[in-house]
Amino acid sequence: MVSNKKDNVLAVLSLSGGNDGLNTVIPMNNGLYRDFRPNLGIAEEQIIPLKDPKTGKDTGFGFHPSMAPMIRFWEEGKMAIFLGIGYPNPSYSHFRSMDIWHTCEPDKIGMKAGLAKHLKN
């Protein structure tokens, strides 16, 4: 069945471990990044600079080279990057934090995935 209707799509990447956020969306021209990651940081010439899709101005961030296939979504304004996301009163427990992120229930132990609850209907 082919449809001509263009539906909005929500794609959520939930990386449950193993992703180095500072080497995925990299702060550029940042001395602290270089100071604290002398061997782990991505070489400046390998970073794909991110420019604001509307203004063309430098954002101060860039993509890891392996993120190259995603750059077109960024340039077309079809991708957003959210940095420093958190929730109030963190417990500092990795496992409790994962429960909160997966269920959207910061005040109790949730039993259903957060997106599943909202997208079910």
Q: Report pLDDT for 113.
A: 64
The whole-number pLDDT of residue 121 equals: 53
- For the residues 1-17, what does the mean pLDDT come to? 71
Distance of alpha carbon 11 from alpha carbon 120, whole angstroms: 16
Q: Do both 25 and 63 map to the same domain? A: yes
Clarify whether residues 74 and 97 are in a common domain. no
CA neighbor of 43 nearest in space, from 58, 64, 59, 25: 64
The answer to whether residue 15 sits within a structural domain is: no
72, 90: one domain = no
Residues 30 and 79 in one domain: yes
Which residue reads 């954002």 in tokens? 59
Is position 63 within any domain?
Answer: yes
User: Which of 14-23, 37-46, 84-93, 105-114 has the highest average model confidence (pLDDT)?
Assistant: 37-46
Comparing CA positions, the residue from 10, 13, 11 lying closest to residue 85 is: 13
Q: Is residue 10 part of a domain?
A: no
- Give residues with Cβ within 8 angstroms of 24, minimum separation 6: 63, 64, 67
Residue at 103 is within a domain: yes
Between 27-36, 42-51, 96-105, the lowest mean confidence (pLDDT) is in 96-105
User: How far does the chain reach from its first CA to its final CA, in angstroms?
Assistant: 23
Q: Which two tokens stand for residue 110?
A: 């949730």
Domain encompassing residue 92: 86-121
112 — pLDDT class (breaks 50, 70, 90): low
- Residue 75: pLDDT band (50, 70, 90) is very high
pLDDT at 66 over 80: yes
Structure confidence at residue 32 (pLDDT): 95
Three-state DSSP class for 23? Answer: helix
Q: How many structural domains comprise the chain? A: 2
Strand partners, 62: 26, 49
pLDDT recorded at residue 38: 94
